[in-house]
Structure 1
Amino acid sequence: MTTSHIQLKLFAALAHLSPENSDRVPIQAGITVKEMLDQLAIPTVKAHLIFINGIKRSLETRLSGGERVGIFPPVAGG
């Protein structure tokens, strides 16, 4: 497989789990968002909203490299 890179931004309660190199996270081309999160030890149950290049996607979306990935946890309000 080919190694590529993505830009990863974790928001709110997930921000502290951001990798040090979040602007250039290495991935294997073809990996799913879920597989990438598992490799980075980010709990998938906390990945409520996933945006890839500004478009809402799912954990099963495959990444090819070059994407901007934003992940939001569930949000509770009062």
Structure 2
Amino acid sequence: MQPTAIQLKLFAALTQMAPENANQLPIKPGISVKELLEELNIPSIKAHLIFINGVKQSLDTQLHGGERVGIFPPVAGG
């Protein structure tokens, strides 16, 4: 059985926290985005916007494998 994996893309200040295997990141099917962040030692407070397959989602969204997950931190600008 092949491991289940996602594509994880972290943006802006989170980029430096991305694991080396972010393009094929193994996950446990059914894991929530929040649980995934905990496993990666990324504080969930830093996940301001979460997109799964291009659709805005929440920390409670479950992942099953094959998803493209993008996470943006809060961004200040002007």
Q: Report TM bin, short chain.
A: over 0.9
Question: Secondary structure at 1:37's aligned position in 2?
Answer: helix
Secondary structure, counterpart of 2:27 in structure 1? strand
Aligned residue for 1:28, secondary structure, equals coil
Superposed displacement of residue 3, structure 1 = 4.3
One-letter identity of the residue aligned with 1:6: I
Q: Which runs of 4+ in 1 moved over 4 A?
A: none
Give the secondary-structure state (helix, strand or coil) at the position aligned to 1:66. Answer: coil
TM-score (norm 2): 0.95
Tell me the number of residue pairs that the alignment of Structure 1 and Structure 2 aligns: 77
1:9 aligns with 2:9: yes
Alignment correspondent of 1:43 = 43
Contact 1:3/1:29 (8 A) holds in 2: no
Structure with a larger share of its residues in strand = 1
AA partner of residue 30 (structure 1): G
* Conserved? CA contact 1:17–1:42, under 8 Å: yes
Structure 2 gap segments, 5+ residues each = none
> 1:13 touches 1:73 (CA, 8 Å); kept in 2?
yes
TM-score, normalising length: structure 1: 0.95
- 2:29 maps to 29
Structure 1: tracts of 5 or more residues without a match: none
